[in-house]
Amino acid sequence: MALPYLEELRAIVGDAGLVTDRAGRLAYESDALSLEKQLPELVVLPLDTAQASAVMRVLSKHGVPIVPRGAGTGLAGGATPVAGGVSLSTARMREILEIDPVGRTARVQAGVVNAELTRRAAPHDLFYAPDPSSQAACTLGGNVANNSGGPHCFKHGATTRHVLGMIVVDADGEVIDLSHQGPDPDGFDLIGLIVGSEGMFGLVTEVTLKLVPIPDATETILAVFPSLDSACDTVTEAIARRLEPSAIEILDELTIDAVERSVFAAGYPREAKAVLLLECEGSAAEVEATSADLTELCQEHGCLEIRTARDDADRRRLWAGRKGAFGAMGRIAPDLYVADVVAPRTRLREIVRIATDICHERGLKVSNVFHAGDGNLHPNISYDRRDTDEVRRVLEAGELIMRACIERGGSLTGEHGVGLEKQEHMCHLFDESDLDAMRRAREALDPDLRMNPGKMIPIRGCREMRTPEPMPQGDDR
Amino acid sequence: MTVPPEVLGDALSRDGIETLREGRLVIACPRSERQIKALLTRAGRDGLRVVPAGLLSKISGLRPEVMEGDVDLVLSLRNLSKVIDFVPGDGTLTAQAGCIWSDLGRTVRESGLQLPTDMPLPSRTTLGGALASGMSGPDRLRRGPLRHHVLGAHVILSDGTRAKSGGRLVKNVTGFDLHRLYTGSRGTLCVLIEASLRLFPTPEETCALTRPCADAAEAFQLAEDLRRRHVDPLSVTIEGGARDPWRLHVVLVGRQVELPSALARASEVLGDAERIEGADAHNLRAELRDRVCHGGAWAQLRLSGPPARTHLAHAMLARFLGNDPLWRVVAQPGVASLEVFAPTLAAHTVADQIALLNDLRATLTDSGHRLEPIALPGATHLGLAADLAGDPARRWMRNLQRRYDPLGRFTCPSYPGRAPTLGATS
Ligand SMILES: Cc1cc2nc3c(=O)[nH]c(=O)nc-3n(C[C@H](O)[C@H](O)[C@H](O)COP(=O)(O)OP(=O)(O)OC[C@H]3O[C@@H](n4cnc5c(N)ncnc54)[C@H](O)[C@@H]3O)c2cc1C
Picking from B113, B180, B336, the nearest residue to A192 by CB comes out as B180
A263: burial class by Cβ within 10 Å (0-12, 13-18, 19+)?
Answer: exposed
Q: Average pLDDT for residues A447-463, to the nearest whole number?
A: 92
Distance between Cα A116 and ligand 1 center (Å): 15
Instruction: State the Cα angle at B296 between B295 and B301, rounded to 5°.
Output: 90
A394-420 pLDDT per residue, tens? 999 999 999 999 999 999 999 999 999
Distance CA B414, CA B89 (A): 41
Distance CA B374, CA B302 (A): 7
Task: Tell whether ligand 1 has an atom less than 6 A from the beta carbon of residue A324.
Answer: no
Q: Whose CA is nearest to atom 3 of ligand 1?
A: A134
> Does B380 contact chain A (CB < 8 Å)?
no
Distance between Cα A74 and ligand 1 center (Å): 4
Residues B151 and B211 occupy one common structural domain? no
- For A437, name the nearest residue in chain B, comparing CA atoms only: B163
Q: Whose CA is nearest to atom 27 of ligand 1?
A: A142
State the ipTM, two decimals.
0.94
Distance CA B4, CA B20 (A): 14
Residues B190 and B229 occupy one common structural domain? no
Distance CA B75, CA A53 (A): 42
Q: Which of B181, B201, B221 is the last residue of a domain?
A: B201
Q: Average pLDDT for residues A38-52, to the nearest whole number?
A: 98
Residue A311 vs residue B299, higher pLDDT: A311
Closest CA to A365 of A356, A373, A374: A356
Which atom of ligand 1 lies closest to the CA of A414? 11
Distance CA A255, CA A258 (A): 5
Distance between Cα A144 and ligand 1 center (Å): 8
> Does A429 contact chain B (CB < 8 Å)?
yes
Per-residue confidence (pLDDT) for residue A8, from 0 to 100: 98
pTM over 0.90: yes
Task: Tell whether ligand 1 has an atom less than 6 A from the beta carbon of residue A135.
Answer: no
Per-residue confidence (pLDDT) for residue B68, from 0 to 100: 59
- What is the CATH class of A217-327? alpha beta
- For A286, name the nearest residue in chain B, comparing CA atoms only: B258
Q: Which of B44, B60, B76 is the last residue of a domain?
A: B76
Share of chain A above pLDDT 70, in %: 97
Contact B181 A176 (CB under 8 A): no
> Sorting pLDDT into bands at 50, 70 and 90, what band is A476?
very low
Judge contact between A146 and A125, C-beta under 8 A: no
Contact B173 A197 (CB under 8 A): no
Distance CA B236, CA B311 (A): 14
Amino acid letter, B376: L
Name the residue ranges covered by the structural domains of chain A: 6-89, 96-213, 217-327, 333-423
Say yes or no to pLDDT of A290 above 70.
yes
- Distance, in angstroms, between B55 CA and closest chain A CA? 22
Instruction: Print the SS3 string covering chain A.
Output: CCCCCHHHHHHHHCHHHEECCHHHHHCCCCCCCCCCCCCCCEEECCCCHHHHHHHHHHHHHCCCCEEEECCCCCCCCCCCCCCCCEEEECCCCCCEEEEECCCCEEEEECCCEHHHHHHHHHHHCEECCCCCCCCCCCEHHHHHHHCCCCCCHHHHCCHHHHEEEEEEECCCCCEEEECCCCCCCCCCCHHHHHCCCCCCCCEEEEEEEECEECCCEEEEEEEEECCHHHHHHHHHHHHHCCCCCCEEEEEEHHHHHHHHCCCCCCCCCCCCCEEEEEEEEECHHHHHHHHHHHHHHHHHCCCCEEEECCCHHHHHHHHHHHHCHHHHHHHCCCEEEECCEECCHHHHHHHHHHHHHHHHHCCCEEEEEEEHHHCEECEEEEECCCCHHHHHHHHHHHHHHHHHHHHCCCECCCCCCCCCCCHHHHHHHCCHHHHHHHHHHHHHHCCCCCECCCCCCCCCCHHHHHCCCCCCCCCCC
Say yes or no to pLDDT of A15 above 60.
yes
Q: Residue B338's beta-bridge partner residues?
A: B303, B331
Strands A86-89 and A66-69, sheet pairing: parallel
Residue A121 CA, chain-centre distance (Å), reads 22
- What is the CATH class of A6-89? alpha beta
Check for a shared fold between A96-213 and A217-327: no
Q: Which residues in chain B land under pLDDT 50?
A: 59-61, 418-426
Contacts with A258 (C-beta within 8 Å, 6 or more apart), sequence order: A325, A328, A329, A331, A332, A367
CB atoms within 10 A of CB B214: 9
Distance between Cα B284 and ligand 1 center (Å): 44
Task: Tell whether ligand 1 has an atom less than 6 A from the beta carbon of residue A32.
Answer: yes
Contact B148 A434 (CB under 8 A): no
Q: Average pLDDT for residues A11-19, to the nearest whole number?
A: 98
Q: Whose CA is nearest to atom 23 of ligand 1?
A: A142
A160-214 pLDDT per residue, tens? 999 999 999 999 999 999 987 677 888 899 999 999 999 999 999 999 999 999 9
- Distance, in angstroms, between B185 CA and closest chain A CA? 6
Task: Tell whether ligand 1 has an atom less than 6 A from the beta carbon of residue A206.
Answer: no
| Domain that includes residue B122, residue range | 83-201
Residue B332 per-residue DSSP state? E
Per-residue confidence (pLDDT) for residue A134, from 0 to 100: 95
Contacts with A378 (C-beta within 8 Å, 6 or more apart), sequence order: A338, A339, A340, A368, A369, A370, A371
Distance CA A196, CA A202 (A): 12
Per-residue confidence (pLDDT) for residue A473, from 0 to 100: 44
Q: Whose CA is nearest to atom 50 of ligand 1?
A: A134
Task: Tell whether ligand 1 has an atom less than 6 A from the beta carbon of residue A90.
Answer: yes
Mutate to test the interface with B, among A107, A189, A416, A431 (most CBs of B within 10 A): A189
Q: How many Cα neighbours within 13 Å face the side chain of A293? A: 20
Judge contact between B190 and B33, C-beta under 8 A: no
Distance between Cα A209 and ligand 1 center (Å): 17
- Distance, in angstroms, between A215 CA and closest chain B CA? 9
Mutate to test the interface with B, among A53, A161, A188, A425 (most CBs of B within 10 A): A188
Say yes or no to pLDDT of A311 above 80.
yes
| CATH code for residues A96-213 | 3.30.465.10
List of chain B residues whose C-beta atoms are within 8 Å of the C-beta of residue A184: 134, 136, 145, 184, 304, 337
Residue A265 vs residue B311, higher pLDDT: A265
Any idea what the CATH number is for the domain that residue B181 is in?
A: 3.30.465.10
Phi-psi region of B271 (alpha: psi -120 to 50; beta: other; left: phi over 0): left
> Does A185 contact chain B (CB < 8 Å)?
yes
Judge contact between B23 and B64, C-beta under 8 A: yes
Overall size of chain A counted in residues: 477
Contacts 24+ apart (CB under 8 A), A257-262: A258/A325, A258/A328, A258/A329, A258/A331, A258/A332, A258/A367, A259/A321, A259/A324, A259/A325, A259/A328, A260/A321, A261/A328, A261/A331, A262/A324, A262/A327, A262/A328, A262/A330, A262/A331
CB atoms within 10 A of CB B379: 18
Distance CA A321, CA A151 (A): 13
Residue B136 per-residue DSSP state? -
Q: Average pLDDT for residues A262-283, to the nearest whole number?
A: 95
A107-122 pLDDT per residue, tens? 999 999 999 999 999 9
Distance CA B404, CA B420 (A): 19
Contact A160 B416 (CB under 8 A): no
Distance CA B291, CA B312 (A): 22
A370-392 pLDDT per residue, tens? 999 999 999 999 999 999 999 99
Per-residue confidence (pLDDT) for residue B414, from 0 to 100: 59
Judge contact between B191 and B36, C-beta under 8 A: yes
Distance between Cα A277 and ligand 1 center (Å): 24
Residues B49 and B156 occupy one common structural domain? no
> Sorting pLDDT into bands at 50, 70 and 90, what band is A471?
very low
Residues B260 and B189 occupy one common structural domain? no
Residues B179 and B277 occupy one common structural domain? no
Residues B175 and B210 occupy one common structural domain? no
Closest CA to A177 of B134, B147, B394: B394
Say yes or no to pLDDT of A465 above 80.
no
Mutate to test the interface with A, among B111, B136, B149, B176 (most CBs of A within 10 A): B176
Any idea what the CATH number is for the domain that residue B247 is in?
A: 3.40.462.10
Overall fold of domain A333-423: Alpha-Beta Plaits (3.30.70)
Task: Tell whether ligand 1 has an atom less than 6 A from the beta carbon of residue A415.
Answer: yes
Based on the structure, what is the number of domains in chain B? 4
pLDDT averaged over every residue in chain B: 87
What SS3 state is found at B135?
A: coil
pLDDT averaged over every residue in chain A: 94
Residues B260 and B340 occupy one common structural domain? yes
Distance CA B158, CA A146 (A): 29
Residue B9 per-residue DSSP state? H
Distance CA A167, CA B212 (A): 41
CB atoms within 10 A of CB A361: 11
Angle between helices A284-300 and B259-270 (to 10 degrees): 170
Mutate to test the interface with B, among A98, A341, A440 (most CBs of B within 10 A): A440
Task: Tell whether ligand 1 has an atom less than 6 A from the beta carbon of residue A130.
Answer: no
Say yes or no to pLDDT of A147 above 60.
yes
Q: What are phi and psi of B364, to 5 degrees?
A: -70, -35
Residues B54 and B130 occupy one common structural domain? no
Residues B158 and B295 occupy one common structural domain? no
Closest CA to A285 of B254, B83, B55, B133: B254
A203-248 pLDDT per residue, tens? 999 999 999 999 999 999 999 999 999 999 999 999 999 999 999 9
Share of chain A above pLDDT 90, in %: 91
Residues B215 and B354 occupy one common structural domain? yes
Closest CA to B379 of B410, B339, B418, B342: B418
What SS3 state is found at B22?
A: strand
Consecutive H or E run containing B327: none
Per-residue confidence (pLDDT) for residue B317, from 0 to 100: 83
Residues B289 and B372 occupy one common structural domain? yes
Distance CA B152, CA B231 (A): 32
Per-residue confidence (pLDDT) for residue B336, from 0 to 100: 72
- For B177, name the nearest residue in chain A, comparing CA atoms only: A193
Residue B245 per-residue DSSP state? P
Residues B59 and B9 occupy one common structural domain? yes
Judge contact between A180 and A448, C-beta under 8 A: no
Per-residue confidence (pLDDT) for residue B176, from 0 to 100: 98
Per-residue confidence (pLDDT) for residue B422, from 0 to 100: 29
Distance CA A201, CA A173 (A): 12
Instruction: Print the SS3 string covering B67-123.
Output: HCCCCCEEEECCCCCCEEEEECCCCEEEEECCCEHHHHHHHHHCCCEECCCCCCCHH
Picking from B180, B306, B416, the nearest residue to A103 by CB comes out as B306
